[in-house]
Structure 1
Amino acid sequence: MELKQAIQERRSIKQYEDTTVEDSLVTEAVELATYTPNHGMREPWRVIWVKKERLEAFGTLFADIAFKNDEEKHRQHVETAKKLAGVLVVVGQRDRRQKENLEDVLAIGGFMQTLCLALYENGIGSCIKTQPPYLNPKMNESLNVQGDEMIYGVVYLTAQTEAAFKARKNEGLISEF
């Protein structure tokens, strides 16, 4: 697959079919994404892989935080989470220096997007999520996220299904000085 094709055709897949993926394909995608350019070669990310057999516990942890007062939404979330092929939790340090923090946030965003392209190339559907429960101390403690780190987002792994093309709004993106 050509890079241009992958960039144009990859979509966030939100139809969470009950599926599995080969560990080697996920590992390969993560390793490829580590080549994402980043400032000062700090590589400010690490990945926690929640495999299929741990998805119910992960979904329950999330639902306990997000839907503690709504039993039906809690149940639905756990059932949805169990269908995924896995979850990649992207964690990175929080740098108190403003410039370095911005550079790290941009690098982690680039890493996550590159990861999704690499997963797509390997036939794995993905969707990046950045919901408030990932900032909850209980979530961080359960996933062994350290005090100087934070969860920047997660990548849901699922079947590579078709997703509709949405026209881009990038007309007039470039202006001249």
Structure 2
Amino acid sequence: MSIAQTIRERRSIRAFNRTPVPQDLVLQLLNDAVWAPNHGLREPWRFIYVGSAEGREKLAALTLEASAHLKRVKLLPSKLKEVMRKKLAEIPANLIVVMTEDKNEHKRDEDFAAVCCLMQNMQLLGWEQKLGMIWSTVDFIRSLVFRSGLGVREGERIVGILHMGFFDKIPKPKTRTPAEAKLVVW
């Protein structure tokens, strides 16, 4: 499969089957993904992998605790919160991508861009292996409860969570605006 074909065919996957995601596969993909361009070869990333049943349960509970203040969660009946917790715990694997935040704003922006490149690399590499992912940047990842629960240190930020798993159905593609419509030529 060509790179262009992989880019065009990759989809965000929200529905995973129950096939476990081997940790060694995730590590293999990460070892290729870290070849993302990064200024000064600072490699401003680190990763938290959650793949065991116990880890997924802890992450689901932490997610609900960290999002409890959100109006859309606070108003949910307890039965729906339990359904939500169970659904979160059923995601076969999660990769939390953490970035070191440089004090220099310019370097921080460069590092953020590099981490985003790494995350896209990860999604494309996973797609080649029939491993689906969705990149989550929900607001609670910035909460102190969530950060401290995961061991994210001061001077670091969570860029996103890659929820991942194998899948049975590929979503239909959505149209994209042609580049010509957004291109300005001087």
The TM-score with structure 1 as length reference comes to 0.93
1:175 aligns with 2:184: yes
Q: Find the counterpart in structure 2 of residue 57 from structure 1.
A: 58
2:162 matched residue in structure 1: 155
Distance 2:107 2:82 in 1: 40
Match of 1:67 in 2: 68
Residues 9-62 of structure 1, C-alpha deviations (whole Å, 9 max, x = no match) = 001001243331222221111111000011111111111001132111101110
Deviations 1:57-105 (A, max 9, x none): 1011101121363323421221111221110000011122111011011
Change (3 A) 1:73 1:91: farther
Structure 1 runs of 4+ aligned residues shifted over 4 Å read: none
2:106 partner amino acid: K
Aligned residues: 177
The one-letter code sitting in structure 2 at the alignment partner of 1:154 is: I
Distance 2:19 2:58 in 1: 17
The 5-angstrom pairing of residues 77-156 of structure 1 reads 77-156=84-163
Alignment RMSD (CA, Å): 1.5
Query: 1:109-128: per-residue Cα shift (whole Å, max 9, x none)?
Result: 11111111111111111000
Structure 2 CA distance for aligned equivalents of residues 9 and 96 of structure 1: 38
Aligned letter for 2:126?
A: L
Give the residue type in structure 2 aligned to 1:90: V
5 Å-filtered alignment, 1:28-43, equals 28-43=28-43
Identity, in percent, stands at 26
TM-score after normalising by structure 2: 0.89
Question: Counterpart of 1:109 in structure 2: which amino acid?
Answer: C
